[in-house]
Amino acid sequence: MNRAVFLDRDGTLNEDSGYFHEADKLVVFPEVPEALRLLKDAGFQLFVVTNQSGIGRGMYPQEDMEDVHQALQEYLLPFKVQVDDFFFCPHAEEDACSCRKPLPGMLFDAQEKYDLDLSASYLVGDHPSDMEAGTAAGCTTVFVLTGDGLEEFAKLEGTGKRIAKFVATDMLDAARLILVHESRRAKIMKS
């Protein structure tokens, strides 16, 4: 079975302007290429899992989202790293689908398609709904403070509710935390 890192898109990999869908306005966080390269070099497959309710609401066509994904791949190309696949939910919250995060449908779809061991996989995102989806699928979760992460973390900080296994400042910090966790896990399995 394969290991994966599931990546929220907007706010985790790139700036989030709300219902972001314009490929020519894609701004990837500067640490992202190095982070993804570290994860790839460690043997992880990389999958974007993104809620795109703007499609279902008629705000933009699916082709716009696909253009953003292509622009991300083109941006990453000089860094010799690529996202293995993109999974998206086009539904609005009121549609009651099984794929919209915080539900784990997209992760289960990826598991089936790529023979993934979800218990050996991670989910990185900047929203509690990302963490809930990862937890529901059995993944280790990493909450990043980019995008809406800092604001969301501040809201939860006083509640005593733990939303993720790890909290990282950005995607590169998340990748490093994952690699340290993997190293510790490997040592435990050897003993």
Catalytic residue positions, numbered: 8, 10
User: How far is it, in rounded angstroms, from Cα 19 to Cα 46?
Assistant: 23
User: How far is it, in rounded angstroms, from Cα 12 to Cα 112?
Assistant: 24
Do 93 and 56 form a contact (C-beta atoms < 8 A)? no
User: How far is it, in rounded angstroms, from Cα 176 to Cα 168?
Assistant: 9
Provide the CA 114 distance to its chain's centre, in angstroms: 16
Terminal CA-to-CA distance of the chain, rounded, Å?
Answer: 22
Tokens standing for residue 46: 């990389």
Sign of CA dihedral 23, 24, 28, 34: positive
